[in-house]
Amino acid sequence: MPARKRAAQERRESSDHWLLLQQSMVRRVATYFDDVGELIGAGSTQPREWLERYALLWGGVIDDVGDWLQREAGNPPRPSADWVHRAHIRLQQRLRTASIPINVPLEAFRDANAPKPSLTLKPSLTLKIGGLVRAGRGDLLAADQHLRFSNNTVSIDDRRRRLKIFDLPPLRVGDVYSGIVWAHETRYPIVAVEVEIV
């Protein structure tokens, strides 16, 4: 690709990223106002409730700005179409449960079927995982039977979840189980999960 075209594409992508950041911030502020309206309507006088809503607003804004800064620096902050984050944990053989943090990137909410896919975001996504397959043998740790999300619905304002691994059968030291978490609505890969038995 010629240097001029590449520079124009980078400027266009930078502009799209800036607009996505603005869109996300407007959604967060609107959600905050909705929450405040509910608190007022309920006659809440509990400072804790007000502070929780305020902390959620600024925590989300900081996450979004951090993602934007990483992207502008040329570092993918989280999974993108070209790179999928890898979550690797070492699970002791005797343990029967574990928990893996999942951070859903803003890019996962892009609606590829919209008229302007780079600027249109889905309001929420459903996380899916088919299971974790053992390398070399194909044995499966199945969804629902051994795997469950803390909450499989994520929104732009609340993108952190946990994948819980539970009720495990006897496992052998050295085995590695892996699988992909993706967003059902956008088919976007969120994270490659890898569990190594030690």
For residues 8 and 65, state if they share a domain: yes
Q: Is the pLDDT of residue 80 over 70?
A: no
133 shares its domain with 167: yes
**Which CATH number goes with the domain that contains 94?**
2.60.40
The total domain count for the chain is 2
Q: Please check whether residue 80 lies inside any domain of the structure.
A: no
Asked whether residue 132 is domain-assigned, the answer is yes
Does one domain contain both 179 and 149? Answer: yes
Q: What is the mean pLDDT of the segment spanning 33-59?
A: 82
pLDDT band at 115; cut points 50, 70, 90: low
35 and 90 inside one domain: no
pLDDT attached to residue 81: 47
In a domain, 78, yes or no: no
CA torsion, ordered 97, 104, 75, 58, to nearest 10 deg = -110
Are 53 and 109 in a shared domain?
no
Which residues constitute the domain of residue 9? 3-72
For residues 134 and 67, state if they share a domain: no
Side by side, the strands of the sheet bearing 147-149 are 98-103, 160-165, 147-149
Q: For 123-179, how does the pLDDT look when each residue is reduced to its tens digit (9 = 90+)?
A: 899 999 989 998 877 778 888 888 999 899 998 888 889 999 988 888 888 889 999
Distances (CA, A) of 192 to 8, 133, 156, 174: 32, 12, 21, 19
Give the end of a domain, one of 42, 72, 102: 72
Last residue of a domain, one of 72, 97, 113: 72
